[in-house]
């Protein structure tokens, strides 16, 4: 008997659509008002962009295997958002330097993670966890809890507002970004090697892959993408605060898992992560619209996540 | 010492590095706080360290078995919420005992939920316990929406000030855990645990009940988290449904500093207990060294990263030299 299989990304997208359609039936849902429904859908996709881009770096390190994970993503998002905020100072002309600084800082932190993991053989989970503490500490030292700066009008216009046919700029950025991620993973030697070291580091090394270099590069890249995430998140919120990045940390891992990427590495896709980010953002915003207390919201989110990963996050059994 | 000997020594004694680090931290702490070894100071330190020690012991069992438990902090929060909301300041001794027993059972049930999904449905531990941590944190907030409640003063001062033979209560508890652990290691279950963590496939093929062993590690972790929750409630004497949040990641760090490998199968509880004490000593040192308040988070995290990196640096240097 042949089992019907749906690939996780498709399943996640289908789930998102079904959930969204059902949400119309809620007492304060969009009902049969098509334009409101469309506006809500656009807004949810726009909100998914930030989680989606932060989860991109997470996707890379998780594919790279050997328990790869980046727990410093949240702290890097905060730091790069603060750096952007301070550098931009409300001037359009400062946006590009600020973006470069955000990317560079993210990459530098990711590189340090890579050194700890590749050379000092620290487990990725604890290395990036320790780094998260260091970065949070740095933020406190540098800012003493208050920052002065401002977001440039250009950033708000590009990221938060509709730019083309009512599509928000963030969504367009995400589409271009997704195309680049697909190229990186599927059409470059970096991508090939990444999946190779994720499947088996020893065989990759024996077949001539510079595993250490790849690990360094992957973590640096992941840090850089978190930096980009921080820049974009700031463009959306317009204000910066000390915990701006933390709420993205574990959802970024969950988005990768929901998207069908194996947490053991070597298998996965960015489309899956995008779908995962969409589902998670949708569930979170639905729970918010239903005006449930925080406690119930957390319980429902946890239970939903459990159900989602039970459906297609299962590892093979020992008997197989 | 040549390379082979160092490697075999560090392989046979995964706690060696933790022990050195512990002595170093103790020494530095003693320099900044000369009255460290006074009985009252020792006691006040131990009662602050104890919750993390309990959590780290449970976490170590899970990690030894090849898993990880991100929900321990949320379990602590549930227990704290239950105790603080059900007891209040005027509960009788019988009621207190009953509620504590119920709380421990709740911890084990929470652990078996984790274990069921991970061992029997074969889900990935990190993401499963992350999901359940939301579930548990939600339950904790549901039980105790606002910080408040409390426990009878008699009981919390029993926890604070009981010093049999002049030694802190925590020391006896650590001794109990260690005795239980060494007895467990002698049993078939103890050997199964290391086999499951080291090579689950090979363990399965040689007839080890892998799923049951994995399941049991999460139940143990849930129970230890519940004990940690009881300890922290007695320590603070009040209820706050988010009290456990900071403990989850600290428990993992403590286990790793204690020489237990995150991939499973190497290490043990003694190292995790040392690791938890080391983390506590670091905090002590920072507060007694008069580190500027704004720098404390950074210094603490930097010391932890250095402690994590040190074994790797030693290995790297040795490989270069020989």
Q: Is the pLDDT of residue A318 over 70?
A: no
Among A155, A294, A284, smallest CA distance to A231 is for A155
Q: Count other C-beta atoms under 10 Å from residue B263's C-beta.
A: 13
The sign of the torsion formed by the CA atoms of B276, B132, A126, A118 equals positive
Find the range with the poorest average confidence among A15-19, A158-162, B95-99, B109-113. A158-162
Is the CB of B127 less than 8 angstroms away from the CB of A309?
yes
Provide the mean pLDDT of chain A.
Answer: 86
Residue A306: beta bridge partners? none
Is the CB of B130 less than 8 angstroms away from the CB of A305?
yes
d(CA B210, CA B193): 9
Smallest CA–CA distance, residue A296 to chain B, in Å, is: 6
d(CA B163, CA A291): 50
d(CA B42, CA B38): 6
Angle made by CA atoms B210, A318, A215, in degrees to the nearest 5: 95
**Six token digits for residue B154:** 């008699």
Smallest CA–CA distance, residue A108 to chain B, in Å, is: 16
Among B80, B88, B76, smallest CA distance to B240 is for B80
**Six token digits for residue B20:** 């050195």
d(CA A120, CA B310): 8
B303 in contact with A, Cβ within 8 Å: no
The sign of the torsion formed by the CA atoms of A263, A269, A275, A278 equals positive
d(CA B131, CA A87): 37
Domain ranges of chain B: 15-27+36-289
d(CA A38, CA A48): 15
Residue A162 DSSP code: E
- Structural domains in chain A, CATH included, are 8-20+36-312 (1.10.3470)
Side-chain half-sphere exposure of A105, counting CA atoms within 13 A:
27
Scan residues 247-276 of B and list those with Cβ closer than 8 Å to A: 249, 252-253, 256, 261-263
Give residues with Cβ within 8 angstroms of A288, minimum separation 6: A297
Is the CB of B124 less than 8 angstroms away from the CB of A295?
no
d(CA B309, CA B322): 20
The tens-digit pLDDT sequence of chain B (322 residues) is 455 555 555 556 667 888 888 999 889 888 888 887 877 888 888 888 999 999 999 999 999 998 999 999 999 999 999 998 888 777 787 888 899 999 999 999 999 999 999 998 888 888 899 899 999 999 999 999 888 877 877 777 777 777 777 788 888 899 999 999 999 888 999 889 898 888 888 888 888 888 999 999 999 999 999 999 999 998 888 888 888 888 988 899 899 888 888 887 788 899 899 999 999 998 888 888 887 878 888 888 888 888 888 877 877 777 766 5
Mutate to test the interface with B, among A126, A127, A296 (most CBs of B within 10 A): A126
What SS3 class is residue A271? helix
Fold of B15-27+36-289: ABC transporter involved in vitamin B12 uptake, BtuC (1.10.3470)
Q: Which of chain A's residues have a Cβ under 8 Å away from the Cβ of B299? A: 137
pLDDT, one tens digit per residue, over A256-289 is: 988 888 778 888 889 989 999 998 898 888 888 7
d(CA A293, CA B142): 9
Query: Tell me, what's the ipTM?
Result: 0.82
Stretch A302-310: mean pLDDT, rounded? 84
Smallest CA–CA distance, residue A239 to chain B, in Å, is: 22
Smallest CA–CA distance, residue A68 to chain B, in Å, is: 12
pLDDT, one tens digit per residue, over B114-140 is: 999 999 888 888 889 989 999 999 999
């Amino acid at each position: 008997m042949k089992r019907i299989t749906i690939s996780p990304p498709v399943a996640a997208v289908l789930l998102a659509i079904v959930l969204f359609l059902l949400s119309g039936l809620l007492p304060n849902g969009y009902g049969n008002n098509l334009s409101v429904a469309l506006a809500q859908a656009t807004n949810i996709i726009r909100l998914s962009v930030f989680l989606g881009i932060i989860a991109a770096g997470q996707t890379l390190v998780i594919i790279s295997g050997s328990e790869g994970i980046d727990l410093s993503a949240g702290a890097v998002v905060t730091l790069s958002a603060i750096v952007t905020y301070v550098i931009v100072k409300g001037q359009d002309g400062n946006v590009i330097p600020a973006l470069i600084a955000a990317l560079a800082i993210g990459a530098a932190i990711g590189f340090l993670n890579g050194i700890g993991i590749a050379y000092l053989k620290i487990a990725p989970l604890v290395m990036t966890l320790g780094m998260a503490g260091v970065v949070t500490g740095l933020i406190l030292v540098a800012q003493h809890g208050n920052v002065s700066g401002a977001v440039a009008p250009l950033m708000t216009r590009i990221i938060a507002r509709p730019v083309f046919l009512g599509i928000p700029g963030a969504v367009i950025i995400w589409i271009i970004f997704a195309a680049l991620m697909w190229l990186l993973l599927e059409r470059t030697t970096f991508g090939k090697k990444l999946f190779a070291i994720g499947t088996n580091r020893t065989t990759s090394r024996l077949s001539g892959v510079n595993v250490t270099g790849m690990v360094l590069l992957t973590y640096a890249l992941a840090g850089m993408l978190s930096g980009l995430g921080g820049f974009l998140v700031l463009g959306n919120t317009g204000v910066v605060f000390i915990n701006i990045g933390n709420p993205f940390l574990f959802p970024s891992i969950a988005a990768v898992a929901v998207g069908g990427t194996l947490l053991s590495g070597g298998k996965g896709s960015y489309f899956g992560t995008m779908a995962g980010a969409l589902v998670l953002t949708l569930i979170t915003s639905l729970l918010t619209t239903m005006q449930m207390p925080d406690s119930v919201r957390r319980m429902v989110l946890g239970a939903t996540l459990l159900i989602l990963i039970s459906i297609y996050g299962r590892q093979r059994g020992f008997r197989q | 010492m040549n390379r082979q000997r160092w490697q075999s020594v560090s392989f046979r004694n995964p706690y060696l590095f933790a022990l050195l680090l512990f002595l170093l931290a103790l020494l530095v702490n003693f320099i900044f706080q000369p009255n460290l070894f006074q009985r009252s100071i020792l006691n006040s330190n131990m009662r602050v360290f104890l919750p993390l020690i309990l959590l780290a012991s449970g976490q170590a069992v899970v990690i030894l078995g090849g898993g990880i438990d991100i929900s321990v902090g949320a379990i602590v929060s549930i227990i704290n919420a239950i105790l603080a909301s059900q007891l209040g300041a005027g509960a009788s001794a019988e009621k207190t005992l009953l509620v504590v027993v119920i709380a421990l059972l709740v911890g084990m049930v929470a652990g078996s939920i984790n274990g069921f999904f991970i061992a029997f449905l074969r889900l990935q531990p990190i993401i499963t316990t992350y999901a359940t941590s939301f579930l548990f944190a939600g339950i904790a907030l549901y039980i105790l929406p606002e910080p408040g409640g409390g426990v009878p003063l008699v009981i919390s001062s029993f926890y604070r000030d009981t010093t049999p033979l002049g030694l802190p209560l925590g020391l006896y508890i650590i001794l109990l855990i260690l005795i239980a652990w060494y007895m467990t290691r002698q049993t078939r279950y103890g050997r199964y645990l290391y086999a499951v963590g080291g090579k689950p496939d090979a363990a399965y093929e040689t007839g080890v009940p892998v799923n049951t062993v994995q399941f049991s590690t999460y139940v143990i972790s849930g129970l230890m988290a519940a004990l940690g929750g009881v300890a922290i409630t007695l320590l603070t004497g009040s209820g706050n449904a988010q009290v456990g949040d900071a403990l989850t990641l600290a428990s993992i760090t403590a286990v790793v500093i204690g020489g237990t490998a995150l991939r499973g199968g190497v290490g043990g509880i003694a190292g995790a207990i040392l690791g938890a004490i080391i983390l506590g000593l670091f905090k002590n040192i920072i507060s007694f060294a008069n580190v500027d308040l704004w720098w404390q988070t950074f210094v603490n995290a930097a010391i932890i990263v250095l402690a994590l990196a040190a074994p790797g640096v030693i290995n790297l240097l040795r490989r270069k030299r020989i």
